[in-house]
Amino acid sequence: TQLRKRKIRLQSATTSSLQAARANSLLLQGSVVAIDAHLFRSKLQPLIAQQVEQGMTIQGQNLTTAQDKRLQQLKRCIAHQDAQFVVLNKPHGLAVQDGSGLNDSLARYLPGIAESLRNDHNIEQEEEQQLRLVHRLDKETSGVLVLARSRLAAAKFSELLRNGAVHKTYNALVASTSTPNASYSSLENFEGREIKLPVNGKPAQTLVERVFKQNHHTQPGTWLQLRPHTGRKHQLRVHCAQELGMPIVGDAKYGGRPADRLYLHAKRIRFPDPFTPERFIDVSCELKSSE
């Protein structure tokens, strides 16, 4: 299981690069095995202490100060938890999964977050202690993100997504690059309207639920409350830039005004609890001032 999840990697004696280990990987003299820190501490270290063979050298490295700080931050970002799901208020600037050119991601911290929740809700089965990603947010987008606590919960949430039963609401700060303070009057007529504009050749639909101002905010522009009815990559960013003519502030890819971050925030998620009839899980998270 841990091999499949790429928690164990190998560094050969002839190269410094790490590659995912396979079940049939051959260990040669001088090879280095790199194991996820949380997995090592919670599962393997006690076993190795009892069964280590003479002549085997084991080197461990704790989380860096920055990584430990990030883990503690993510623990504080838990907005909802029950026996089946955890909802985080994901910070902007953190990718959800590892990818090309990325050296940090939320996925790396899931074992540590799960460890902090280990004894809640009387969950005793080891399989239930793992957190699973069940949907995505862009690296630069902040806000609500659902994690499943079991394979069954992940499967049921995926089914809700396929059936259109998961409702998401985003807040986006948009502005004309030439006249940012004049955006509001230009956008009022879009309130309550559906945007239907294909994204990457696929149908995409977004409801502009609300157009509003937040005068206390330092960034000029107009706030939109958006509800995507489809889930295309960069859908909201494309719709704001190309259909409304008002890119999201901080969205360099689609012509947005430069800013300290991308001002797109997943504010709310609502879906029926697949384990409890007639109950809904409804979580809202405001954009943090420190964001």
Of 165, 99, 173, the C-alpha closest to 141 is 173
- State whether the Cα torsion 280-227-235-74 is positive or negative: negative
> Could you say which DSSP state residue 12 is in?
-
Whole-Å CA distances, 148 to 114, 153, 278: 11, 6, 20
Cα–Cα distance for residue pair 60/282, rounded to 1 Å: 41
> Could you say which DSSP state residue 103 is in?
S
E strand residue ranges, 25-117: 32-35, 78-81, 85-90
The residues annotated as belonging to the active site are 138
Answer for the pair 247, 238: CB distance below 8 angstroms, yes or no: no
Q: How many CB atoms lie within 10 A of CB 20?
A: 13
Answer for the pair 97, 107: CB distance below 8 angstroms, yes or no: yes
> Could you say which DSSP state residue 43 is in?
I
Cα–Cα distance for residue pair 249/258, rounded to 1 Å: 7
- For residue 201 the two structure tokens come to 């050749």
Cα–Cα distance for residue pair 158/231, rounded to 1 Å: 13
Identity at 11, one-letter amino acid code: Q
Number of H-type helices and E-type strands within the chain: 7, 13
The three-class DSSP label of residue 20 is strand
